Structure 1
Amino acid sequence: MPSLRIATWNINSVRLRRPLLAELVKALDPDILCLQETKCPDELFPLDDLRAFGFPHIAHKGMKGYNGVAVLSRRPLQVLDGDPDWCGKGDCRHLAVAVDAPGGPVELHDFYVPAGGDTPDREANPKFAHKLDFVAEATAWSAARGAKARSVLVGDLNIAPLEHDVWSHRQMLGVVSHTPVEVEALTGWQHSAGWHDALRHFVPADQKLYTWWSYRAKDWEAADRGRRLDHVWVSPDLAGALARHVVLKPARGWAQASDHVPCMVELAL
């Protein structure tokens, strides 16, 4: 049966870490790779280098120094217009494409949600307010669109919603990324159009699952104080097509690694 392998990775600078894409392709062999935090304005995006990794079809939306999203694909794609200007900031946090796939196009959304700073207080921390406002807008957008068929949403959503998406639920309740208000917001977004949590489709909710380990840890692997900040959601009609997943934990140990690791799901279409 034909399949479609979709990977997502917060690369934390596409120009700095583009050599690591060779390792990613070797390990995952994705048909589509969605990147976040590319930190690269469009005019400097390394198109030729990335095409050399086997992705002739590339869409990107970037700015200097921070944010930025991109979709690299082995299959033809079309950029979908009508993207909202999230929170009126024009800060390159969402890219939508239609990808040629077995059985018809798949609508793919690549998101990079604001991290939210360190203080989980809307009044005291404008970054946290921005994060909550962004997720609220994304929820309203998703609800208005409804459960569109053959749709996938991926990205660094910067929220670990479940108890076992963090190393210590009790100790993380007051830490940005796992606070109750963020969890409620992300859960509302997921439920707004019936999105199915593709990674948790394979890993039960009572098992630990992380995609991010802080740079601050002297030995990230020994401490293993991770969080699941990266997500793959599929529309309800694709839930039954989920065939396999990979969370590439060894990537956190690569030279000049991102603090996030790539995640991939394979759909049997």
Structure 2
Amino acid sequence: MFRVVTWNINSVRLRIDQVARFVAERRPDVLCLQEIKCREGEFPADAFREMGLPYLRVAGQKGWHGVAIASRLPILDAPKLDVCREGHARCVSAVVSGVEIQNFYVPAGGDVPDRALNPKFDHKLDFYERLTAEVARRDRSAPLLIAGDLNIAPGEFDVWNHRYMSKVVSHTPIEVETLNRLQATGGFADVVRDAFPDPRKLASWWSYRAADFRKSARGLRLDHIWTSPGLTPAVAPGSAMIHEDVRAWERPSDHAPVAVDLAL
């Protein structure tokens, strides 16, 4: 089996011990990280080599954003989907074991869900529109995996309160429509939701404001792994999951890792 994990780590240097523990316990073959919050030269490459993930692709930025792919197996170059109009480090790509992996940290979009009033929200939707146009040019039969913090919780059961959250950035109708359009354009399978169909409540992010994230139960499913029609048949039944327990570790990221196994 070939295990792929995506995780918004919220500072890779600050949480390198959590990463090492996770890698030792869950044995990912490929780890896609978002919000690494460092430049390429500051990325803790030696620590990843010690973990057994020596092959790296890093797109860094000082203090903000940043994405990385770490792999047990050799990495080949993949097309760079440069869809961020602001030039942020939000996209990184690789080919591992014949699978193209595109790792994204999509803009959060600010607080006001209005493109005219909020440039951050306009940027978020523009990011999606550019990515959708790129996907439309792709061959669906090619093995492609999209992973990352997509910053949209698409379904009624991906938020703690659908009615309330429909007015809040991350679950507004225009965002959900935009995400669904991208998914439909590529014919992507949402591997976690397929493994746990509605009405099962799912979340991968919980605010730090809650002293006990499980008790407050106000999570959002913002982190996703999608597979193209050419890859979806390789998804191992029952393997897709959210590692919610990691959110309870000491000094955690506010996101939990999301994983899937592929039979390649």
Q: TM-score range, shorter-chain basis?
A: over 0.9
Residue 144 (structure 2) aligns with: 151
Higher mean C-alpha displacement, 176-185 vs 219-228: 219-228
2-structure distance, mates of 1:213, 1:130: 24
Q: Extract unaligned runs of 5+ from structure 1.
A: none
Residue 169 in structure 1 maps to residue 166 in structure 2: no
Distance 1:109 1:35 in 2: 11
Identity of aligned residues (%): 49
What amino acid is aligned across from residue 173 of structure 2 in structure 1? P
1:71-90 equivalence runs, <5 A: 71-81=69-79, 83-90=80-87
Tell whether 2:258 aligns with 1:263: yes
Counterpart code for 2:256: V
Name the CA distance, whole Å, in 2 between partners of 1:47 and 1:23.
16
Q: Deviations over 1:195-214 (max 9, x none)?
A: 11111121102211110001
Q: Secondary structure at the match of 2:199?
A: coil
- C-alpha separation in 1, matches of 2:82 and 2:214: 38
Partners in 2 of 1:165 and 1:240 — Cα distance? 24
Amino acid at match of 1:51: R
Is 2:51 aligned against 1:56? no
Q: What is the distance in 2 between the residues matched to 1:266 and 1:151?
A: 14
Quote the residue 2:135 is aligned against: 142
**Count of aligned pairs:** 262
Deviations 1:9-43 (A, max 9, x none): 00001111111012211332111000001011111
Per-residue CA distance 1:121-149 (angstroms, 9 max, x = gap): 11221111110111111111111224141
- Decide which of 13, 16, 32 is 1:15's aligned counterpart: 13
The answer to whether the 8 Å contact 1:160/1:229 transfers is yes
1:188 to 181, 185, 188: 181
Q: Partners in 1 of 2:17 and 2:31 — Cα distance?
A: 15
Contact (CA 8 Å) 2:159, 2:218: kept in 1 or not? Answer: yes
Higher strand share: 1
Q: Which residue of 1 aligns with 2:235?
A: 242
Q: Which amino acid aligns with 2:121?
A: F
1:107 equivalent in alignment to 2:100: yes
Q: Assess if the C-alpha contact under 8 Å between 1:159 and 1:228 holds in 2.
A: yes
Paired position in structure 1 for 2:118: 125
Q: Could you tell me how far apart the structure 1 residues matched to 2:151 and 2:64 are?
A: 15
The alignment's C-alpha RMSD in Å is 1.2
Q: TM-score, normalised by structure 1?
A: 0.94
Q: Distance in 2 between matches of 1:65 and 1:123?
A: 28
* TM-score (ref. length: structure 2): 0.96
Unaligned stretches of 5+ in structure 2? none
C-alpha contact (below 8 Å) 2:84/2:90 kept by paired residues: no
CA distance in 2, matches of 1:112, 1:210: 17
Code of the aligned partner of 1:176: V
Q: Indicate conservation of the 8 Å contact 1:9/1:36, yes or no.
A: yes
Structure 2: distance between partners of 1:201 and 1:268: 17
CA distance in 2, matches of 1:261, 1:87: 24
- Please state whether the residue corresponding to 1:226 is helix, strand or coil: coil
Q: Which whole-Å deviations, capped at 9, do the CAs of 1:18-70 have from their partners, x for residues lacking one?
A: 11012211332111000001011111111111111110111111010111110
Partner of 1:254: 249
